[in-house]
Amino acid sequence: MTDHTKEINRRRTFAIISHPDAGKTTLTEKFLLYGGAINLAGSVKGKATARHAVSDWMEIEKERGISVTSSVLQFEYDGFCINILDTPGHQDFSEDTYRTLMAADSAVMVIDASKGVEAQTRKLFKVCAMRHIPIFTFINKMDRDANDTFDLLDEVEKELGIATCPVNWPIGSGKGFRGVYDRDGNKVVTYSDTEKGTKEGISKEISLDNREELSEAIGQEAMDKLLEELELLDGAGAEFDLEEVRSGDLTPVFFGSALTNFGVEIFLQHFLQMATTPLPRKADIGLLAPTEHEFSAFVFKIQANMNKAHRDRIAFMRICSGKYDAAMEVRHVQSGRVMRLSQPQQIMADERKILSEAYAGDIIGVFDPGLFSIGDTLCMPKENFQYEGIPTFAPEHFARVRQMDTMKRKQFIKGISQIAQEGAIQVFQELAGGMEEIIVGVVGVLQFEVLKYRLENEYRVDIALEQLPYEYIRWIENKEEVDVLRLQGTSDMKKIQDLKGNPLLLFVNEWSIRMTCDRNKDLVLSEFGKG
């Protein structure tokens, strides 16, 4: 086994998904704590202190306590090199999450034990299912009153259509939370309320067969209830099958409390044994295996102005195969340019370290001179292939944007174009006009607020936003075959184009889409833009 095969095989790259407030950021911090990447976890809630969560770095996130962008965190634990892609939980930033999931090999789904499966979890889960990503479930906040465990599992199965297999089983919840039963080891791990942010709690392991000690530790009532539940579980739960987990048909379920740090390390250890090494990726020349192919990567995210001191743009790429060496030249397939990647770095929230090498499974950030777009492929100079594109999701809210000071036109166009290249907003203009009228489309309305905030703070441009009534957007699939300017539409239809000159149609009502298609027999409309 070559050195670089060994390096690739010890990598685990996963995304953490959840509904807002399920405790995802806290869980991420505890992982970093175990890897020694940070010494003290900063509680996200403590906004009065200056210690914000490590993975939330943008100013607006610190003010609102929500994750707006996906950060990438890397740490070592027990011989593994782990890349965590932390995704925004807020639904208005779901597009960023969809793209991040393209760069992950598996997903950890965090569920609040008192709320069960929530709307955002469903949406993200669908993306995982679409890609057959293995999903691991961590049911969090057991230190608070939780729903019935069987009901929680039942809900995951019904709502998400995936079989569940509990790896451990909770004993009580809230004030009555006593620990978890480890099914594989036939033992109980007792819970003690650890001091928040510290690594070690005092937990004890007791064999299930040692009834006397167990009853003493957790109480007779809790023990009787546990034995009763385990009997039911053995008759009801799915058998553990690693193949099914890896094909995304079965989710292993764990219980714990990220805030008090109970059950987190147990989860991490099991996860690392079950999760796969970096997976092959689909390109136009077939499936490419990480260990059998030289360096290749694709861009899944672009982020401008990560560093206040330097107005920079970082393109994040997932290395799909081989080894990256900072001295090597690579081909940017879309432009055909052969180049050295500038300032390759790994980013620990807002701290960066310049890299000399990285391997398949790793996520690296490189300085972007305005060349990269989301979905671009990089490979060795002698090769020329492309990875599958990342779909563009249809925005659901639209607004006309004007800058208040006409003298700042240049900064305005620059700012809005750069933010659009990151993929958080989509920018359109009148079909026949220039950049006179700018229309912005977003997946969630909170994006408008972020746009306004960023233009003011990063580009010093004040804007006025006028929300438009349009709710539906369609790409024209066969634009070469139809005369877009002469299309017979409805009174609530607007013709626009994106920054690449592709024509699109906006509608207020859904029935107008059907009517427009009826009036223009040769017109083919699509809900997705090609990535």
Specify the CATH number for the domain of residue 423. Answer: 3.30.70.3280
pLDDT confidence of 259, banded at 50, 70, 90? confident
- Does some domain include residue 97? no
pLDDT, one tens digit per residue, over 371-388 is 888 889 999 999 999 998
Contact 413, 328 (CB under 8 A): no
Q: pLDDT class for 57, splitting at 50, 70, 90? A: very low
Identify the bridge partners of residue 510 per DSSP, sorted by sequence position.
Answer: none
Q: What are phi and psi of 499, to 5 degrees?
A: -70, -20
Residues 6+ away with beta carbon under 8 Å from 410? none
Pair (139, 198) in one structural domain? yes
Nearest to 88 by CA among 126, 43, 133, 57: 57
Which residue, of 326, 348, 379, is where some domain finishes?
379
Which residue range is the domain that position 244 belongs to?
9-69+106-274
- Beta strand 106-112 with 11-18: parallel, antiparallel or unpaired? parallel
Read off the tokens for 11: 């990598």
Q: Which residue has the higher pLDDT, 79 or 390?
A: 79
Question: Which pLDDT score is estimated for 391?
Answer: 64
Choice between 522 and 193, residue whose per-residue pLDDT is larger: 522
Residues 186 and 300 both lie in one domain? no
On whether residue 131 sits in a domain, the answer given is yes
Tell me, yes or no, whether 17 and 162 share the same domain: yes
- Residue 381 phi/psi, 5-degree rounding, is -55, -35
Three-state SS for 217?
helix
Q: Do 430 and 343 belong together in one domain?
A: no
Task: Enumerate the β-bridge partners of residue 367.
Answer: 314
58-65 mean pLDDT: 47
Across 368-372, 388-392, 456-460, the highest mean pLDDT is recorded for 456-460
Give the Cα separation of 249 and 233 in Å (integer). Answer: 19
The reply to whether 268 and 285 lie within a common domain is no
pLDDT at 462 over 70: yes
For residue 307, give the 3-state DSSP assignment: strand
Whole-number pLDDT of residue 193: 65
Nearest to 179 by CA among 194, 165, 198: 194
The verdict on 31 and 170 lying in the same domain is yes
**Amino acid symbol at 286:** G
pTM for this structure? 0.76
Whole-number Å distance between alpha carbons of 143 and 113: 9
Residue 297's DSSP bridge partners are 319, 378
Q: For residue 364, give the CATH number of its domain.
A: 2.40.30.10
Give yes or no: residues 30 and 142 share one domain. Answer: yes
Is 220 strand, coil or helix?
helix
**To the nearest whole number, what is the mean pLDDT of the chain?**
82
What's the rounded mean pLDDT across residues 84-96? Answer: 62
Please determine, for residue 226, whether its predicted confidence score (pLDDT) is greater than 90. Answer: yes
Is 265 part of any domain? Answer: yes
Tell me the CA distances in angstroms from 90 to 71, 161, 301, 329, 376, one per residue in order. 14, 23, 17, 38, 26
State the pLDDT at residue 321: 96
**Lowest-pLDDT choice from 37-46, 79-88, 262-271, 291-300:** 37-46
**How high is the pLDDT of residue 253?**
96
Span 330-351, mean pLDDT?
81
Q: Which of 247, 274, 301 is the last residue of a domain?
A: 274
Mean pLDDT score, 135-144: 93
Q: Model confidence at 355, in pLDDT bands (50, 70, 90)?
A: confident
In a shared domain, residues 419 and 363: no
Q: Report, as an integer, the average pLDDT of 199-216.
A: 81
Residue 109 three-state SS: strand
Q: In total, how many domains does the chain have?
A: 3
Residues 457, 433, single domain; the answer is yes
Confidence band (pLDDT; 50, 70, 90) for 230?
very high
CATH of the domain at 205: 3.40.50.300
- Residue 295 located in a structural domain: yes
Q: Is 404 in contact with 302 (CB distance < 8 Å)?
A: no
> How many C-alpha atoms does 295 have within 13 Å on its Cβ side?
24
Question: Which residues in 322-351 are b (16+ Cβ under 10 Å) and which e?
Answer: bbbebeeebbbbeeeeeeebeebbbbbbee
How does residue 49 score in pLDDT terms, banded at 50, 70 and 90? very low
pLDDT of residue 289: 93
- Counting residues of the chain whose pLDDT is more than 90, the rounded percentage is 38
Per DSSP, what are the bridge partners of residue 352?
A: 347
Residue-level pLDDT at 234: 78
- Only one residue has tokens 């976890």, namely 41
